[in-house]
């Protein structure tokens, strides 16, 4: 493949990232607006639950109780985890294999270039690979959503998947090693790097060795060093370029990107508000 094949993925990465953050800003606006409307409705529903006869063993109430006990971050990533499980199940269907390899693995030499940059972020062929990634995402979900908020986190996560895939494309074109990549590792590295950058003194531990603890800052340095060595030495166990791309994007975003992108969303939100107000006025 010629280097010119990187033009479309680059434009897709830029366009998708802009759309993701724009959509997240509008989503936050609509969420805040609806929160005011539903406040009294929820208060009334709680009051009715108290005076209404309670059913014991109600499965729906048990599910609601479990859901309400989750943190906002855990509730936010539940949909992401469900999407990954769904795509994992699609890999188990023999009739879907050709479609999965075409659209759910990223490779600059593939027929499909742009959509796999996003879809491969939700794609895992190995159960262990998916379980490890989803465990890390679940573990860091509360911290990252507390840091960014639900809407901004979704925009960062989806953008990170596309950006890390593009970095992987560039590395494959530079080295001439063309092989399909899949997995949420690039996006999760963004989450991990963002949290570790903002909270470098936080204590972390390895899942199988909980007695061994280390600081988040040290863990981030070790991960970057490992992936840099893997990329330089041509290791093929992981997509080290995607990992590095995700980690660097996470570090950049919490240091500079938040101020450059999210803090400057006001003109878009204002335009959306004016459009909504005009449409509401026309509708009476």
Between 219 and 278, whose confidence is greater?
219
Q: 31-35, 160-164, 200-204: which has the highest mean pLDDT? A: 160-164
Give the E-state strand segments of the chain in sequence order. Answer: 203-206, 209-215
* Domains observed in the chain: 3-28+72-273 (1.20.1540.10)
Active site residue 185: yes
Identify each DSSP E strand in 147-273 by its residue range: 203-206, 209-215
State the pLDDT confidence band at 284, using cuts at 50, 70 and 90: very low
Q: Which of 185, 240, 258, 273 is catalytic?
A: 185
Q: Which residues contact 244 (CB under 8 A, 6 or more apart)?
A: 167, 189, 224, 227, 228, 231
The mean pLDDT value of the chain amounts to: 87
Question: CB within 8 A of 53, min separation 6: which ones?
Answer: none
Kindly tell me if the per-residue pLDDT of 166 is higher than 70: yes
- CA pseudo-torsion sign 180, 185, 190, 193: negative
pLDDT per residue as tens digits for the range 5-63: 899 999 999 999 999 999 999 999 998 888 777 766 666 655 555 555 555 556 677 77
Question: Which tens digit of pLDDT belongs to each residue from 248-272?
Answer: 999 999 999 999 999 999 999 999 9
* Model confidence at 280: pLDDT above 70: no
pTM over cut 0.75 = yes
pLDDT at 135 (0 to 100): 92
Q: Which of 124, 243, 258, 273 is catalytic?
A: 243
The confidence score (pLDDT) of residue 98 equals: 92
Per-residue pLDDT reduced to its tens digit, 88-120: 999 999 999 999 999 999 999 888 999 999 999
Identify whether 109 is a catalytic site residue: no
Q: How far apart are CA 24 and CA 145, in angstroms?
A: 13
Predicted confidence (pLDDT) at residue 211 exceeds the cutoff of 80: no
Measured CA to CA, the distance from residue 78 to residue 137 in angstroms comes to: 10
132-156 pLDDT tens trace: 999 999 999 999 999 999 999 999 9
Pairing of strands 209-215, 203-206: antiparallel
Residues in Cβ contact with 25 at an 8 Å cutoff, skipping those fewer than 6 apart? 151, 262, 265, 268, 269, 272
């Amino acid at each position: 493949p010629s280097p010119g094949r990187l033009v479309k993925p680059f434009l897709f990465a830029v366009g998708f990232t802009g759309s993701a953050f724009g959509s997240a800003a509008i989503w936050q606006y609509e969420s805040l607006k609806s929160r005011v409307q539903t406040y009294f409705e929820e208060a009334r529903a709680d009051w009715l639950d108290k005076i209404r006869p309670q059913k014991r063993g109600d499965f729906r109430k048990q599910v609601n109780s479990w859901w309400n006990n989750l943190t906002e971050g855990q509730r936010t990533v539940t949909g992401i985890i469900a999407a990954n499980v769904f795509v994992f199940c699609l890999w188990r269907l023999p009739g879907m294999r050709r479609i999965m390899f075409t659209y759910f693995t990223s490779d600059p030499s593939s027929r499909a270039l742009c959509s796999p940059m996003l879809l491969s972020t939700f794609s895992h062929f190995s159960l262990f690979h998916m379980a490890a990634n989803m465990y890390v995402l679940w573990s860091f979900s509360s911290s990252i959503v507390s840091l960014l908020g639900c809407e901004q986190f979704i925009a960062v996560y989806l953008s990170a998947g596309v950006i890390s895939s593009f970095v992987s494309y560039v590395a494959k074109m530079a080295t001439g090693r063309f092989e399909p990549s899949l997995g949420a590792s690039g996006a999760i590295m963004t989450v991990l790097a963002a949290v570790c950058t903002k909270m470098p003194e936080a204590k972390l531990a390895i899942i199988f060795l909980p007695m061994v603890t280390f600081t988040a800052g040290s863990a981030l340095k070790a991960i970057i060093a490992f992936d840099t060595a893997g990329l330089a030495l041509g290791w093929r166990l992981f997509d080290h370029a995607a990992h590095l791309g995700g980690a660097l994007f996470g570090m950049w975003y919490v240091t500079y990107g938040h101020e450059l992108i999210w803090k400057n969303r006001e003109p878009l939100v204002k335009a959306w508000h004016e459009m909504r107000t005009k449409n509401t006025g026309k509708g009476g």
